Amino acid sequence: MKLSNIIKTIALAGFLLFLYDKSFKNNYFNYDSIPYVASAYMLSDRNLKESHAYAWNLLKEKSHPSVFNDLCCKTSYRKSMFNSSNAFGSHLPAYQTKSLYVFSIRLVSDVFNIDEFLALKWISFASVVIMVLVIAAFLFQANLMIYLSIFPIFFLMQVIPIARLLTPDGLNALFMVCAGIGLLTKRKVFSYFLLLASILIRQTNIIFFGIFLFFELRAGNYAKFFLLLFVGLMLYGINAYYFESLGYWRTFQSSLIRMPDSFVNFNPEFEISTFFSTLAAKIDWMLGDAQLNRLLSLFSLLFFISIYHLKNIEVERRNNALVPLIFISCSILSFTLIPFPDFRIYSGHLIATAVTLLFSLSNKAKK
């Protein structure tokens, strides 16, 4: 075995051990895991009151008292979610619309006979481990320096926290990365399927699915473009209707302006001035924060590098160079529509951008 391959293998093994030590090895609970547990429990034909009680009782059984008290009672919103099953149920659509993720929790819990919190833990960790292995395999033949650069990217993109968060972000990152690699390796059907399925992990992924379909317009496949776009919109609509989605404006208001103690009768009126003033205020706040400005900086950096790379590549290879540019452009658009300053929401898209950009740059270097 070549020395470079030995170094690559050691680096990968070392990172995976570090990932295990800093994520799976320790227990971690966050508020979002509670409604995900309740949503998965309801798939077994349980009613709302039973699911509400089950999720909170299971959390109390598994977590430290200080953690439980923080998650149940730190704010008036959390107190409302803990004390009232109706208030809790009014917010469940925000979680149930991530139906593929919720179904995965139920499936893993049933197949391995484990509780839903442990299923969440396994899904997050396994998704990130598989993603890391896929990226490592994909770039294994690249230049050693290109390959080793994926590890600081993992740290920069918050892979360690995502592996321990009981949220859909790890699974979403896996889907985005695999879809991006599929597009680069001419497996468009596979990629479109993953992007379509990802709508059931995060509804905003409809943006990525729809814009990547412009490859079909670029190739002159107009019928295929409109058929796939129709399928994507139908899936989005059926999922939103069946799980009674909160809708764009209620999500915007509750995420960015005021989280109501209950979503019952919470129907704020849409105002375009509120949208723009909130967007401007969030960007201003994030730019001045030492932690939050990383997200906006990465948006800008990856966008400018992708544009530069596209302009300086041969015409016949521009489809590959378009992949990272589309990923980062869709990420920026997704943030603009709901400028929620939480890095984890965009991490999977940023990882996909960085990996596809590295692949394209490494191929250019070989020429």
117-155 pLDDT, tens digit per residue, is 999 999 999 999 999 999 999 988 888 888 999 999 999
Residues 6+ apart with CB under 8 A from 246: 91, 93, 94, 254, 263
Identify the pLDDT of residue 364. 58
- Which amino acid is residue 126, in one-letter code? A
For the chain, which ranges sit under pLDDT 70? Answer: 1, 315-316, 363-367
**How would you class 101 by CB atoms within 10 Å of its CB: exposed for 0-12, middle for 13-18, buried for 19 or more?**
buried
Identify the pLDDT of residue 318. 75
Q: What does the chain come to in residues?
A: 367
Identify the pLDDT of residue 319. 79
* 194 touches 175 (CB < 8 A): yes
Q: 116-138 vs 343-366: helix axis angle to the nearest 10?
A: 20
Q: What is the dihedral sign for C-alpha 170, 171, 175, 176?
A: negative
Provide the domain limits for residue 154.
3-366
Instruction: Tokens for 270, please give them.
Output: 């849409």
Residue 221 has a CB neighbour count (10 Å cut-off) of: 15
DSSP letter, residue 269: P
Largest CA distance in the chain: 65
Identify the pLDDT of residue 81. 92
DSSP letter, residue 168: T
Q: How far apart are CA 358 and CA 363, in angstroms?
A: 9
pLDDT digits (tens, 9 = 90+) for 30-65: 999 999 999 999 998 778 999 999 999 999 999 898
Strands (E), 94-183: none
CA gyration radius, the chain? 21
Identify the pLDDT of residue 269. 87
Q: How far apart are CA 62 and CA 71, in angstroms?
A: 13
* 95 touches 35 (CB < 8 A): yes
Identify the pLDDT of residue 309. 86
- Which amino acid is residue 351, in one-letter code? I
Identify the pLDDT of residue 160. 93
Q: How far apart are CA 71 and CA 89, in angstroms?
A: 17
**How would you class 209 by CB atoms within 10 Å of its CB: exposed for 0-12, middle for 13-18, buried for 19 or more?**
buried
Identify the pLDDT of residue 341. 87
Residues 6+ apart with CB under 8 A from 146: 139, 358, 361, 362, 365
Give, in order, the Cα–Cα distances in Å from 147 to each of 5, 176, 355: 10, 19, 10
Identify the pLDDT of residue 263. 85
Residue 362 has a CB neighbour count (10 Å cut-off) of: 17
Residues 6+ apart with CB under 8 A from 111: none
Looking at the structure of the chain, the number of domains it has is 1
Closest CA to 35 of 24, 47, 14, 51: 51
* 158 touches 347 (CB < 8 A): yes
